[in-house]
Chains A and B, each alone.
Chain A
């Protein structure tokens, strides 16, 4: 701060009577002022100096210019498509965003420059993965200027046969999430090298990262992974220990798979066309080491839980060979057993873990028909298993069941209907879409001003708006009349959700139109 400003800051009373000088040609002007009080003179001098400085602004020099962005390789989407995408990228109706971004990628287009800052600002890894191929040269160039956008440089381009040089950099320098992502990619391409990478760093990694690296073994899983997985059973971190058993069980020749088969064989016996289960009364240390959890789920009982956990780690095909009976017959017999629910849940988890299509469909049929005469924990397990099975069973069967759950509300809980509906593969088949819309209209027509609820249909609209095929749009956008009553919240809420449903469908229709694939 110069002495002129300092004088004003402390005050002329303190600074004494000496003349303040700005050290600029302005002082000559001040000299021309008629003699007046010091304060007024200082103010006028300050005013002249301020104007002098404004008029004589000295611009800085900047030497370093950015390297220009490279030429684009992809064309940009249309301005009309950009107008549709802008609010989605800004976070409005962003459940439409994944589909729109995926369509752009399929169409071989990139985002226009205007939308790049919003696209680079996306937060979730899932959306970032979708948007990365659409950034174009300009987007990757732009990301280099903002540390918050460094994720772009650490996202791999399209999957290719060889590992790009940047992969190794990411593995050495990236965040935990990026490193695991790159490891998973490498396991798909060069599993030997991926194992070397992990072996080199295993001991120095944090527990969470070790667990994630172990889970990556599910890609390209092979006998060579057994030593690491077997050792992980003794890891000091519970998360790492928990990740190993499922993977070891999937290696048919592993020592672990053998131990588990032996344990299961001892628990399950075939006697006179019936299944007899003999779960142990106490867990031995070896079973604990192999990941059978001590704590019993309260609803099920400890021994039933051990039985279930053990069966879940044995390939279901083993039992067909072991007892010489087909899956369907074994399941039918199991339903009569004293331990039926533990048996069926164990097998179900095994069918999911070992992706056995025959067992999956057979067990799905069982759970679909099961009346729910079990304990609360079993009912919860049923919903969870149905949800897990839904995308795996033949599509017509799953869609048929979903429709049954929606139209026969008395028979099942609504939770179950939503769970199954949300688990259906998307987009829904045209047949199911049409049937859904037919039943929706039927339901809306059944409402009157006194209706007490609009469940389960009101809660399915958001999913339907995203899952219907374009073939169904015209039918879906035909107005769906509801009773006009401003006082019944159930009806107004349903009507409002129908509006959002229609808006979402119209936006999707325009996205399909503006981004032709």
Chain B
């Protein structure tokens, strides 16, 4: 028994290096009382300033500790996990009462979440409420339609006067239009406009890139204007892209549920204005479906759910509805976490690109794709200024402008299996398998 993770993977959970170091110190049985583990959980009591009860639910790696630390997971949780990855440190046992109570509470909470929708509907069933909701929806639709019309005019003006003029425009030029879209309750359009603000002048090809982005935005407003003519699945995409966010239960109802062995292939964290966004890419071992798990953290708070690159787990994912669903969340995590030792991927770069082209044909607004390549060789040129991975046919993909020395040194000049994020220009390496061992690449920026 024991958790089938490496201590490196456990240490990757630590919120900072101090917690990691303290966790390592506590990873010694002499600090612990009543250690035990079952199929579901591992637990123990750790002597700190008081005797703390520490427990981990293994399926989701959720840590609970009675200590007052605001770090998450705290050093006791990390210490317990480190102990349990060391073979034979934690004996199998029947969970004591405090662990059973917690597990039961978690199970109940999950059930409640599942039935919440029904209950809510049951509670607020009266026709009046439905009528009020319909009225609110209609009001919003009118607002959005008005906003979209003004955005279309603005874009046409841009093209009439020439894109050359925008290079000298201040950031407020874009921000004002984005704010107008927020006011029109179309935050999705606002986000696209904010992204565009960074394009002018940033590269030699900026006019072509900006024109492409404006064009894709025009395609979106065009589709929105004639949304009834679209497939039901694509209608979902268009509404989400314009800015109708789906509630958790709506995703649960309308999205596709996929049970599979989900492999966590890599992770990338982006710092934003007030927080961080973490993109985690998963691949279904049987379905070969890619999934993107997005997590947001504001003001330096930890991400709520633990997603460990280099692990695999039997689980049910539910996808946001759409024509080529990509974004997903965990609905239920069943089995234990296992270390990843292999990545099923495309045998050639052309094959990987074909899969991506298929997805784009179904949903043309996707910006990023999971790209899993088998047996590609990292190539470094110009002293580290130009990077590629090359497949057995000599076909290459350029890597994102960054330092890829770890990828190169771990490859040793041999072909490796690589998972990365493709944005139609460059590949960002996120994880690799060399000699049967997974290595996370990139990661926290």
Contact = CB atoms under 8 A, between A and B. Distances in A.
CB-based closest 6 A-B pairs: A11-B162, A47-B215, A46-B215, A50-B212, A47-B219, A39-B156
A1 B211 CA distance: 12
A147 interface: yes
B390 to A, nearest CB: 5
Interface of B: 6-8, 11, 17, 152, 155-157, 159-165, 207-208, 211-219, 222, 349-350, 353, 356-357, 360-361, 364, 377, 379-381, 383-384, 388, 390, 394-398, 403, 405-406, 408-410, 412-414, 424, 439
Contacts of A67: 413
B326 to A, nearest CB: 15
Dominant SS at the B interface?
helix
A37 B212 contact: no
Contacts of A142: 405, 408-409
A285 interface: no
Contact of B161 (A13, A49, A69): A13
22 contacts: A8-B207, A10-B164, A11-B161, A39-B157, A43-B159, A43-B214, A44-B219, A46-B214, A46-B215, A47-B218, A53-B424, A54-B364, A57-B353, A61-B394, A67-B413, A68-B414, A69-B412, A113-B410, A114-B409, A139-B409, A141-B413, A145-B408
A146 B379 CA distance: 12
B216 A47 contact: yes
Contacts of A53: 212, 424
A410 interface: no
A248 B209 CA distance: 72
Interface string A117-155: 100000000000000000000110110011110000000
B159 A42 contact: yes
Contacts of B360: 51, 54-55
B398 A60 contact: yes
Given A51-B216, A59-B353, A79-B6, 6 more contacts: A1-B208, A5-B211, A50-B211, A66-B379, A87-B17, A146-B383
Contacts of A113: 409-410, 412
A482 interface: no
A8 B163 contact: yes
A79 B8 contact: yes
Contacts of B164: 9-11
B412 A59 contact: no
Contacts of B208: 1, 5
B207 A47 contact: no
A299 B441 CA distance: 62
Interface in A17-70: 37, 39-40, 42-51, 53-57, 59-69
A60 B396 contact: yes
A12 interface: yes
Interface of A: 1, 5, 8-14, 37, 39-40, 42-51, 53-57, 59-69, 79, 83, 87, 113-114, 116-117, 138-139, 141-142, 145-148
Contact of A65 (B156, B377, B395, B410): B377
A147 B383 CA distance: 6
Contact of B388 (A13, A62, A138, A146): A62
The winner among A42, A51, A68, A113 for most chain B CB atoms within 10 A is A51
B226 to A, nearest CB: 11
B379 A9 contact: no
Given A48-B219, A51-B364, A39 B395 contact: no
B152 A117 contact: no
A60 B152 CA distance: 36
B413 A69 contact: yes
B409 A51 contact: no
A43 B408 CA distance: 42
A8 B162 contact: yes
Contacts of B207: 1, 5, 8-9
Contact of A44 (B218, B395, B405): B218
Given A37-B156, A65-B379, A117 B350 contact: no
A292 B302 CA distance: 69
Contacts of A139: 409
B390 A117 contact: no
Nearest to A72: B412
A14 B165 CA distance: 13
Given A5-B208, A50-B215, A138 B412 contact: yes
Nearest to A39: B156
Contacts of B218: 40, 43-44, 46-47
A479 to B, nearest CB: 15
Contacts of B163: 8-9, 11
Contacts of A1: 207-208
A292 B289 CA distance: 84
A182 B414 CA distance: 34
A54 B413 contact: no
A506 to B, nearest CB: 9
A47 B210 CA distance: 10
Contacts of B361: 55
Contact of A8 (B159, B349, B379): B159
B156 A13 contact: no
B160 A13 contact: yes
Given A11-B160, A37-B156, A145-B408, A59 B397 contact: yes
B409 A40 contact: no
A133 to B, nearest CB: 18
A13 B395 CA distance: 43
Given A66-B377, A68-B413, A138-B412, A117 B215 contact: no
The winner among A1, A10, A65 for most chain B CB atoms within 10 A is A65
A117 B405 CA distance: 6
Contacts of B379: 62, 64-66
B380 A66 contact: yes
A14 B162 contact: yes
B7 to A, nearest CB: 8
A50 B216 contact: yes
A39 B409 contact: no
B219 A51 contact: yes
B196 to A, nearest CB: 12
Contacts of A50: 211-213, 215-216
A69 B413 CA distance: 6
Contacts of A62: 379, 388, 390, 394, 396
A43 B161 contact: no
A134 B173 CA distance: 55
Given A42-B159, A117-B405, A49 B215 contact: yes
A118 to B, nearest CB: 9
A119 B244 CA distance: 50
B161 to A, nearest CB: 5
A205 B152 CA distance: 72
Contacts of B162: 8-11, 13-14
Given A66-B380, A68-B413, A146-B405, A54 B160 contact: no
A61 B414 CA distance: 18
A246 to B, nearest CB: 43
A59 B8 CA distance: 35
A9 B159 CA distance: 8
Contacts of B11: 83
B388 A60 contact: yes
A5 B204 CA distance: 13
B420 to A, nearest CB: 14
Nearest to B395: A59
